[in-house]
Every structure is written in structure tokens, then in C-alpha cells.
Amino acid sequence: MKYALLLMGHHDDPDCGEDGGADPEEFFAFDKEITEAGVVVTSFALEDQDQAVKVSSDASGERLTTSGPFAEVQEFVGGGYIIEVDGIDEAIAWAKKSPGSAPGGHVEIRPVAPY
């Protein structure tokens, strides 16, 4: 089964730097471990929110674009993995190993819908 491991941070958390509070070397080591385990379908890291563009629509349906950063957003996705494992327990085990679950961040696990 495929799961998304979303590496989350929170702007209001003093432990949360741009890497979610963990040392980048810890992320490199985790990435090597999870990749060598053969469970990674794909992975990604996102640029800082000041590079983001939001597309929405107004009441008339006209599409609007807004450049980031977005002050109203306190929580952010810093990156993530799509993994293929036997079940939720294995996905949880990988999330617990991730430096993204260190103080200042957390890992959100979501099943990938089988469309």
C-alpha cells in the first residue's frame, strides 16, 4: 500500500527552523536509509514559502493568483515521501525514524488514494 509521509513544520514553534527543527545531516541519513530499504516511490523537498504562489477563485469564479509567503498559514509542508509498504504500521515506523518528527515538526501519514 502507498502512503504519503508529509514532513510538517509550524512557524510559531521556536524549535522549528526551515528544516523542521532537525539537522540537515539527519535528513540526509534518513533519506539514504529509507531509499536503500527500497520503499520509496518518490520524494521531494519544497522551497521556502516565500516562493509559493496560491491559485484560488473569487465568488464569481474568476481565478486569482497570490504570491507567498502567506501570513495566515502557520503550518507548512517542507517536503515528503511517497512510500510503498505492507501497511500503516510500517508507514508509522518510518515516520518515527524521520527527523521530521523531531521537536518543531511532525510527520503526517496519509494513504494514497488508488485512482
pLDDT digits (tens, 9 = 90+) for 52-97: 898 999 999 999 998 877 766 678 888 999 999 999 999 999 999 9
Q: Facing residues of 108 across strands?
A: 6
Q: All 3 cell numbers of residue 63? A: 481565478
Q: Rounded to an integer, what distance in angstroms lies between the CA atom of residue 28 and that of residue 36?
A: 12
DSSP H helices, 37-103, are: 88-97
Strand, coil or helix: what is 71? Answer: coil
Q: Give per-residue pLDDT as tens, 13-39.
A: 554 455 445 678 999 999 999 999 999
SS3 at position 66: strand
The answer to whether 110 and 17 are in contact (CB under 8 A) is: no
Strand intervals (E) in 11-111: 40-45, 53-57, 63-67, 75-84, 105-111
Can you give the pTM of this predicted structure?
0.81
Q: Domains of the chain, with CATH numbers?
A: 2-111 (3.30.70.1060)
Distance CA(45)–CA(76), nearest Å, equals: 12
